[in-house]
Structure 1
Amino acid sequence: MNGRFVRVAERGRKTFKIMIDGVACDAAQGDTVLVALLSSVRAVRDSEFGDGRRAGFCLMGACQDCWVWAEDGTRLRACTTPAAPGMSLVTRLSEAKECVWPRA
């Protein structure tokens, strides 16, 4: 995958695998979900409002633009949730399960 973020410092941190849309990707200790996502892919999620892919906006928890889904359908705020080994994330609405909002 081709990420939007490029890690230029702190390259010595231990890494672990997370799944993003069914593809194994690396995350580093201390990464938020947002950093882990954007280090591996170009966008964080689909917009629920039909305006395409989103990449986060404020990167600090104020704008609400970085919500993604765990594989079980739980919503996570990517910019404030720590990445953890074995996480399985979904960034596409068509793949998200139970907790998709708004409901049709």
Structure 2
Amino acid sequence: MFATRPEARPASVEVFVEDRPVMVPEGASAAAAVLLAGIPAIRETPVSGAPRLPYCMMGVCFDCLAEIDGVANRQACMVMVTPGMRIAPQRGARQARPGLAGKGA
């Protein structure tokens, strides 16, 4: 479904998607790395468990939520890759941070 453009820069940054090494072009998003990895899903919807992959690639749909370098609930399409970045599936529904309940968070 997705293919790199012929004029794209050569892959030069190694990241890990579900612990698999993936080479991606410098300046690519973490969502692009997920798609290049060819995994079946990066998260599941909390209600039905339906699998999701990056969709809009511009921060609107939230289908690319992932855990990036140990931080959950990151929009992978809005995060540029860095060497050694670790991208893991988002597990379960988003959790509120302790101590923020009732403070507009």
Band of TM-score, shorter chain: 0.7 to 0.9
Cα drift, residue 92 of structure 1: 5.4
Q: Partners of 1:17 and 1:49 in 2: how far apart? A: 33
Q: Partners of 1:38 and 1:14 in 2: how far apart? A: 14
The number of residue pairs the alignment matches comes to: 95
Q: How does 1:1-104 map to 2 (within 5 A)?
A: 5-41=2-38, 42-91=40-89, 93=91, 101-102=94-95
1:101 aligned partner, one-letter code: R
Cα drift, residue 54 of structure 1: 0.3
> Structure 2 regions of 5+ residues with no counterpart?
97-105
What TM-score results when the alignment is normalised by the length of structure 2? 0.72
Change (3 A) 1:11 1:46: same
Helix, strand or coil at the partner of 1:74? strand
Moved more, 35-44 or 8-17: 8-17
Identity of aligned residues (%): 20
> Structure 1 regions of 5+ residues with no counterpart?
95-99
